[in-house]
Amino acid sequence: MKLPRRAFLRLATRAAALPAVSRIAWAQGYPARPITFNVPFAAGGPSDAMARVMGERMRGALGQPILIENVVGAAGSIGVGRVAHAPPDGYTVSVGHWSTHVVNGAIYDLNYDLLKDLVPVVRLPSNPQLIVSKKNVPAANLKELIAWLKANESRTAAGNAGAGSASHIAEIYFQNITGTRFTLVPYRGTGPALNDLVAGQIDLILDQASNSMAQVRAGTIKAYAVTAKTRLPSLPEIPTVDEAGAPGLYISVWYGLWVPKGTPKDVIAKLGDAAIAAMADPKVQTRMADFGLEMPPPEQQTPEALGALQKAEIEKWWPIIKAASIKAE
Ligand code: ASP
């Protein structure tokens, strides 16, 4: 992976060598062609859905189509690397979240630096996870689910989006809190994992609410608890982990957009403004809220706020994850 890095540096140097006036003129003409949103997980999953909802609405403000590219593998670290090594011109944007832009740095030997090679654009909505099982698990609540998992220890399996993904970290955390053991099955995203849960191929997922909510409502899978201190307004019948029997299992998966380091400030501002306008759209707000996604407060919708959150989460989670000795696939 040395070549892309060198190519990236060459491009960054060339961009920096442009006279200031032509850089400003160039940024003013942005975007002059379609923008690619790099989604590091499979189509049909929660990251993909976030990119599509935002991209669809941002297209109007930017006047250019937003193309979605799913670059999957290694819990999103391959896709994020693609953006870290892309030209810093605003045409390749990383759609990521808590696990891709925080957790992966503690697990993988990345050939990029999450804080130095990418710059934050804007914070996007966040959601907790739901503890969901296939429909025919004979448990009426979380305590019964835990008892069932213990009784069937060698026969149960949970799907996740790969070592270090939000679902994977949550499943390990859940095993530690509840004393359960089950097989962890990696997928290229929780979209395909959810399909297998509905089909009964796996037993469990700790899945982002935005992904499994529709299936829970349709009754095709069962939900036992939400990984937050408070219940979800859009699914108020589901108890919190504290109420249900996995106390303290709080995980909030917050999303954001990042671009390669060296991207002109005006370009970052255009992208950020388009995302902020999308989040202010009542139709987008209703759609997100319906799926358990919470908008960041307006004062948090800045590149600085996303950068500060990412740094604070790295400080909080890297020691926890390193202590748990979670290994890359
Ligand atoms: N972000 C999800 C996870 O980490 C996977 C996905 O978006 O498909 O579990």
Write down the pLDDT at residue 329: 59
Pairing of strands 157-160, 66-70: unpaired
At 281-298, the pLDDT tens digits run 999 999 999 999 999 999
166 Cβ below 6 A of ligand 1 = yes
Return d(Cα 179, Cα 164) in angstroms, integer: 20
190 Cβ below 6 A of ligand 1 = yes
Distance of CA 253 from the midpoint of ligand 1 (Å)? 9
At 105-157, the pLDDT tens digits run 999 999 999 999 999 999 999 999 999 999 999 999 999 999 999 999 989 99
**Cβ contacts of residue 127 below 8 Å, gap of 6+?**
46, 208, 209, 210, 252, 253, 291, 292, 293, 294
Is 3's pLDDT higher than 50? Answer: no
Q: How far is CA 109 from the centre of its chain?
A: 19
45 Cβ below 6 A of ligand 1 = yes
| Residue among 37, 39, 47, 71 whose CB has most ligand 1 atoms within 8 A, to mutate | 47
- Determine the average pLDDT of the residues in 166-170: 96
Say if CB 263 and CB 233 are below 8 A apart.
no
| Residue among 68, 70, 99, 254 whose CB has most ligand 1 atoms within 8 A, to mutate | 99
At 13-51, the pLDDT tens digits run 455 555 555 656 667 789 999 999 999 999 999 999 999
Atom index in ligand 1 nearest the CA of residue 253 equals: 1
Write down the pLDDT at residue 26: 66
Write down the pLDDT at residue 23: 59
Write down the pLDDT at residue 325: 78
40 Cβ below 6 A of ligand 1 = no
- Determine the average pLDDT of the residues in 219-247: 97
Return d(Cα 225, Cα 241) in angstroms, integer: 5
- pTM score: 0.91
> To the nearest whole percent, how much of the chain has pLDDT over 90?
88
